[in-house]
Every structure is written in structure tokens, then in C-alpha cells.
């Protein structure tokens, strides 16, 4: 079915049945994953990743938008959406054939985890940037019924991206990569806020930009940590006169400490901006201030833990 669907979507004119067929494929993959859960868990997990891929990229929604734009006489827009669908289906095919980039999991080493996480962050940055651009193209248009449906579809794609970030955060936390896990948690919260606002038909450009910026900061810190671990492998340095070795996996690197500093500065700026009109706070602003206050407390605890660990090592 996937090969036939891919061939169908490669045609110059969008097929009206493509959106429904993508939904049908998604449901079949979910049902098959359930049946294979006990007998072939790896294949079941791969199928679920395929479903998540289609949801994150909004394949069904993009197929429908391709049809709509073609009907309106906008072939360039239709082609753009159709090419996105083809790319999503091709990625799905590669995934099911075992050609996809290895996903991070709790069983990988720290080094393997960081390599896989780098690939995931690059993919998230691309997907979030594409989603931001699509949403912004709707700015200024009247909120018709079709527009409301489009924004709800955008929100679902945002929630799918958030689910991926949540999973990465869980793995990092289990691997005791506290700084990166905390940073991803902040991104997940912001993605959740974006999904809620997008569902209501609102476009929050500053928050969209902030999510991209934080993902890029995390990517930069991750790459720096990889360099530091390569230059200072486990057992590669002395720690004290007794000749004991320092394990860089257990000691926060300069890259992680710099990421914490950036998060502290960002929290300060956001809190100051959110509380600028303290006398007339809306309910949304009050909720945001509470969340920022909670983040400050958790970040302080994180920093204290890092300092205690450096003293012990």
C-alpha cells in the first residue's frame, strides 16, 4: 500500500483520495503494531515511529492542502505541499526498510546517545521551522471554517513534535544527562503552549522563534560536549594525588555549564517581560509567571546538584 501511495503522490496533479489513504495507512500501521507488540517488538516500535513521523509532518493535512490549492488554481503552492507529502512517505519507506538513522534509547552508550540526539535535534529544528513558516503564511487571513481546520491540524503537528521532545527528555533523564533533559523539558513546555495557541487560531511569532533558538542552543551545547568527551575520554585525566581518574560522563562539561548560564539569563529576561504589567495581569500571564517561577526553582536545584557533583569528583 505504501509503494502505491507514494507512486500516487508523485503525480503532478494531487490526488483527491491521497489524504484519506494516508489516514488509512496510519490506522493500519497502528493496528499492526498492536498485533506485533509481543511477537516482534522491534517491528512494532518501528511502525509506531512511522506513525509519529506522518503525524509530525502532517502528511494527511499537507495532502489535503495540496488538493485545495490545486483546485483554487495555485499550482506552485499545491506542488510545495505535494512534495512535502512525497518526502514524508519516502522517509517512512526508509524507516520501515531499516534504513533510517538510529534513534536514541536507554540502552545506548552516552557517546551513541549524543550522536543520535544530534540527528534528532536537527530533524526537530527542520520540522519546527517548516511548521512555523506554514503557520505564518496564514497570517492576516480571515478565520473561516477551513482556516480553523487548518490551525487545528497545525496544532496536532505541534503536539506530535512535543511528544518526540518528551520522549527524548525521558531518555536523557534516565541516562542522568540532567542539563540536556532540563533544556528539552523547557522546549516541550513551550511547544505545548504553541500548540494551545495555534489551536485557538493565534500566531505567536516570539514563542515560535524562541523554540527554534533554544533547540539550536541545545544543539550547539551538545556538539561542544561531544568534542570535550572526545578530548577527555573516561580515565584520561588525573584527579588528585592518588592517581584516581575523573569520569567526564559524571562531571558537567563546560558546554553544559554554559547552557545552564544561557537558561538562567533567558529565564530572567522572560520573567521580567512577563511581569512588566504586574497590576493588570491576564490569566494567561499569571499562569506563565507561575511556570517561570517553577522553572527558576528547578534550575536552581539543578545547578546545586551540578556543583555538589563537581565537589565530589
- The DSSP symbol for 238 reads B
Per DSSP, 73 falls in state: T
Tell me what the pLDDT averaged over the chain comes to: 78
What pLDDT score was predicted for residue 129?
A: 92
User: C-alpha angle 218/49/10, rounded to 5°?
Assistant: 105
Q: Which of 77, 100, 123 is the last residue of a domain?
A: 100
Considering the domain architecture, whether residues 196 and 51 belong to the same structural domain is answered as no
- Domain assignment present for 244: no
Provide φ and ψ at 134, rounded to 5°: -65, -45
**Alpha carbon distance, N-terminus to C-terminus of the chain:** 56
111 plus 63 within the same structural domain: no
pLDDT digits (tens, 9 = 90+) for 222-253: 888 888 777 776 554 444 444 444 445 555 56
pLDDT in tens, 245-270: 444 555 556 777 788 888 878 877 77
Give yes or no: residues 268 and 311 share one domain.
Answer: yes
Instruction: Determine the average pLDDT of the residues in 281-309.
Output: 71
| pLDDT of res. 239 | 45
Please tell me the predicted confidence (pLDDT) of residue 188: 92
Query: Which pLDDT tens digit goes with each residue over 184-218?
Result: 998 999 999 999 999 889 999 988 999 999 999 99
What is the residue range of 90's domain?
1-100
Residues 73 and 112 in one domain: no
Query: Does the pLDDT at position 288 exceed 50?
Result: yes
The reply to whether 118 and 96 lie within a common domain is no
Nearest to 219 by CA among 100, 116, 109, 105: 116
State which of 85, 100, 115 marks the end of a domain.
100
According to the model, what pLDDT value does residue 245 have?
A: 45
The predicted pLDDT at position 208 comes to: 92
Give the best-scoring range by mean pLDDT among 100-104, 118-122, 247-251, 256-260: 118-122
Nearest to 267 by CA among 161, 182, 202, 193: 182
User: Tell me: the pLDDT tens digits for 33-76?
Assistant: 888 888 888 788 878 888 887 887 788 888 888 888 888 888 77
Full-model pTM: 0.68
**% of the chain residues with pLDDT over 70:** 77
- Look at the chain and report how many structural domains it folds into: 2
Amino acid at each position: 500500500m505504501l509503494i502505491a501511495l507514494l507512486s500516487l503522490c508523485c503525480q503532478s496533479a494531487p490526488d483527491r483520495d491521497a489524504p484519506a489513504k494516508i489516514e488509512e495507512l496510519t490506522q493500519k500501521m497502528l493496528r499492526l503494531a498492536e498485533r506485533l507488540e509481543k511477537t516482534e517488538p522491534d517491528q512494532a516500535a518501528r511502525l509506531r515511529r512511522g506513525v509519529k513521523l506522518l503525524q509530525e509532518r502532517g502528511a494527511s493535512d499537507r495532502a489535503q492542502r495540496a488538493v485545495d490549492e490545486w483546485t483554487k488554481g495555485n499550482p506552485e503552492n499545491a506542488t510545495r505541499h505535494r512534495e512535502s507529502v512525497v518526502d514524508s512517505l519516502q522517509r517512512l519507506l526508509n524507516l520501515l526498510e531499516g534504513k533510517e538513522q538510529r534513534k536514541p534509547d536507554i540502552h545506548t552508550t552516552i557517546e551513541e546517545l549524543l550522536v543520535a540526539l544530534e540527528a534528532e535535534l536537527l530533524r526537530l529544528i527542520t520540522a519546527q521551522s517548516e511548521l512555523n513558516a506554514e503557520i505564518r503564511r496564514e497570517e492576516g487571513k480571515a478565520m473561516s471554517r477551513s482556516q480553523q481546520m487548518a490551525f487545528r491540524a497545525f496544532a496536532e503537528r505541534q503536539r506530535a513534535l512535543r511528544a518526540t521532545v518528551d520522549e527524548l527528555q525521558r531518555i536523557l533523564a534516565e541516562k542522568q544527562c540532567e542539563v540536556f533533559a532540563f533544556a528539552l523539558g523547557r522546549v516541550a513546555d513551550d511547544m505545548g503552549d504553541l500548540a494551545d495557541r495555534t489551536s485557538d487560531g493565534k500566531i505567536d511569532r516570539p514563542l515560535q522563534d524562541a523554540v527554534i533558538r533554544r533547540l539550536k542552543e541545545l544543539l550547539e551545547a551538545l556538539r561542544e560536549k561531544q568534542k570535550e568527551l572526545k578530548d577527555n575520554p573516561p580515565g584520561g585525566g588525573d584527579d588528585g594525588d592518588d592517581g584516581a581518574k575523573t569520569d567526564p560522563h559524571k562531571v558537567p562539561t563546560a558546554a553544559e555549564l554554559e547552557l545552564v548560564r544561557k537558561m538562567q539569563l533567558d529565564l530572567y529576561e522572560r520573567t521580567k517581560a512577563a511581569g512588566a504589567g504586574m497590576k493588570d495581569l491576564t490569566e494567561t500571564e499569571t499562569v506563565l509567571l507561575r511556570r517561570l517561577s517553577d522553572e527558576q526553582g528547578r534550575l536552581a536545584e539543578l545547578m546545586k546538584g551540578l556543583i555538589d557533583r563537581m565537589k565530589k569528583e
